[in-house]
Structure 1
Amino acid sequence: MIVTVTPNPSLDRTYEVPSLDRGEVVRATGERMDPGGKGVNVSRAVAAAGRRTVAVLPLGGAPGALVAELLAAQGIEVAPVPVAGTTRSNIALAEADGVLTKVNAPGPELGPEERELLLQTVRRQAHGADWIACCGSLPRGLAPSWYADLVARAHVAGVRIALDTSGPALLAALREGPDVVKPNAEELAEAVGRPLATVGDALKAADDLRSLGAGAVLASLGADGQLLVTGAGAWYGGAPVAAVRSNVGAGDASLAGFLIAGGAGPEALASAVAHGAAAVQLPGSVMPTPADLSPAAVTVTADVPLDRPLTDPAP
């Protein structure tokens, strides 16, 4: 069973548009409304695979009620933390050529009682969990050290932690030794304070995060595949993608695939790659089902292509 923690969830509206012309009326050719937030997407992908998951998230106002309703309709157990503020609503504009423009609202500010209730809810749901996946940005009211506190408490309870966040929250949590962290190339570059131009640069940066405390690093490199770096070695994986429809939630689907497959080793990396490749070919933030996966198309190797340039170098 996988528990997900999404401190700043959202109600996501995705519009498919031929192109985005600033200052003009843009007519959408398709639209979707989904419960959003990185941890929420992980739960959605886990549920789509037929596995049990519990989503812990603060919810408030009409958007929060709708998020809970949409998750329940997908067979996801929701452990809501009532908050006085209103759950944020985000908008994504997906162009026909695969370019995505996102407008993310800040979300509510959590008060002291709400912060404590959130931690208590995570602790209560952790019993019997195989993994706790802590994902996304922290809302106003939660200090950068909040994830670090959660990692420490989870380890005391004997539960493994997967962490997908960035900036000061990631750096603060590393000292508590999360079992796996999942940055993308930009977040990886930010964490080590230098640009990444090649897969070898990403590997070195992942090693640096491990030296700071991460047990393993699962790095999403966009069109250039994924990289897994652990104490046992490093592996590189990729899969062909016919056309990118939307990359919203693709990294979250990858993390779900990794955890579903045990959260360790090349087999888990292969599952992560299969889930990520399937997700980018689906509309909006739709999570892939087993029928959407093409595991035979995935390649994983310990011969990491160190000199391969990144298609989108991380500054």
Structure 2
Amino acid sequence: MIVTITPNPSLDRTYELPALSRGEVNRAATDRVDPGGKGVNVARALTAAGHRTTAVLPLGGFSGLLLSDLLLRQGIAVATVPVRGETRINVSIVESDHGLTKINAPGPELSEHESAALLAAVRRDFTGPEVDWLACCGSLPRGLAPDWYAELVGQVHSGGARIALDTSGPALLAALKARPDVVKPNREELAEAVGRPLATVGDVVEAAGELRERGAQQVLASLGADGMLLVAEEGSWFGTAAVAEVRSDVGAGDASLAGFLGAGGSGLKALAAALAHGAAAVRLPGSMMPTPADLDHAAVRVTAEIPAERVLRD
């Protein structure tokens, strides 16, 4: 089983319209509401691919009830930790030229008791031998200290589960010392972690190596349209996946992590699965997660020959 934990989940409302006009009434061509948050998206993609998964979520208010209901309708088991604050609602506006405007709410502030309850729920229920992976995903809500993930990783590792970490900033840096099995930064998050811009694939390889020196066992770096890079003790691999038309890139990185974990969470095969899932996600509306029927494995190219001099697009 693969368990996901999302400390700051959301409802994601997406509007598609021809063009956004500031200061005017805009009429959407379509709209949709999806369960949101990085770990939630990972759970949705894993479930769509037939993997057994549980989403651990702090939920509060009407939006929290709706989020839980939407997940249950999709056949996803939900372990809820009740909180007093209202689960946030994020808004995405997608224009016909593929321009994306996102408004992310801060979410509730968790009390010390709620923070401890969330940690205890994972430690109590999801550290047994049946748990293959625990995916810790997303930003930490107000009230959780930057080392909260580090504490969680340390406790769950002692129970035998492998840890995937998809976060950024101080939370990422603090958790590295707990030796997560894989971290999944994008280019901007990786640049922030090492304190310098990354202009080429070679720069990304070097930065990923630094995260491994600090404790990460594998680094799965998402480079957007330029592909993905996996750096591990066994070697490094680079891959791309051709996409004819991008509809929405919301949740594409989460779909990639789901593909990676679902394919075993290491090596060339897992990287290829991550690329196929990410490419499928950007062809779908809103934060919709791909199903196996959406995947185009023939469009994926993976190699151990790293194009270090390749310049990354801005």
TM-score, normalised to structure 2, is 0.98
Q: What does residue 265 of structure 2 align with?
A: 263
Q: What does residue 6 of structure 2 align with?
A: 6
Q: What does residue 140 of structure 2 align with?
A: 138
Q: What does residue 155 of structure 1 align with?
A: 157
Cα displacement string for residues 156-211 of structure 1 (whole angstroms, at most 9, x for unaligned residues):
11110000000000000001100000000000000000001111111111111111
Q: What does residue 175 of structure 2 align with?
A: 173
After TM superposition, give the deviation of residue 302 of structure 1 in Å. Answer: 0.4
Partners of 1:28 and 1:57 in 2: CA distance = 30
Partners of 2:52 and 2:242 in 1: CA distance = 29
Q: What does residue 294 of structure 1 align with?
A: 296
Deviating above 6 A after TM superposition, structure 1's stretches of 4 or more consecutive aligned residues are none
Matches within 5 A, 1:16-27: 16-27=16-27
In the alignment, structure 1 residue 102 sits paired with structure 2 residue 102:
yes
After TM superposition, give the deviation of residue 262 of structure 1 in Å. Answer: 0.1
Q: What does residue 125 of structure 1 align with?
A: 126
Q: What does residue 34 of structure 1 align with?
A: 34
After TM superposition, give the deviation of residue 126 of structure 1 in Å. Answer: 3.0
Q: What does residue 185 of structure 2 align with?
A: 183
Partners of 2:313 and 2:19 in 1: CA distance = 22
**Aligned partner of 1:125: which letter?**
F
**Aligned partner of 1:156: which letter?**
S
Q: What does residue 208 of structure 1 align with?
A: 210
Cα displacement string for residues 254-286 of structure 1 (whole angstroms, at most 9, x for unaligned residues):
000000000000000000000000000000000
Moved more, 106-115 or 36-45: 106-115
Q: What does residue 74 of structure 1 align with?
A: 74
Moved more, 295-304 or 272-281: 295-304
Q: What does residue 90 of structure 1 align with?
A: 90
Partners of 1:89 and 1:122 in 2: CA distance = 24
**Aligned partner of 1:89: which letter?**
I
After TM superposition, give the deviation of residue 311 of structure 1 in Å. Answer: 1.0
Q: Percent identity?
A: 69
Partners of 1:98 and 1:238 in 2: CA distance = 21
Backbone CA RMSD of aligned residues: 0.7
Q: What does residue 254 of structure 1 align with?
A: 256
Paired residues in the alignment total 312
CA contact (8 A) 1:6 1:56 kept: yes
Partners of 1:191 and 1:97 in 2: CA distance = 32
After TM superposition, give the deviation of residue 121 of structure 1 in Å. Answer: 1.1
Partners of 2:160 and 2:120 in 1: CA distance = 16
TM-score, normalised to structure 1, is 0.98
Partners of 1:116 and 1:149 in 2: CA distance = 11
In the alignment, structure 1 residue 221 sits paired with structure 2 residue 223:
yes
After TM superposition, give the deviation of residue 26 of structure 1 in Å. Answer: 1.7
Partners of 1:292 and 1:188 in 2: CA distance = 29
**Aligned partner of 2:51: which letter?**
R
Partners of 1:77 and 1:222 in 2: CA distance = 30
Moved more, 20-29 or 5-14: 20-29
**Aligned partner of 2:126: which letter?**
Q
- 3-state SS in 2 of match to 1:300: strand
- 3-state SS in 1 of match to 2:312: strand
Partners of 1:27 and 1:238 in 2: CA distance = 36
After TM superposition, give the deviation of residue 21 of structure 1 in Å. Answer: 2.1
CA contact (8 A) 1:3 1:126 kept: no
Q: What does residue 45 of structure 1 align with?
A: 45
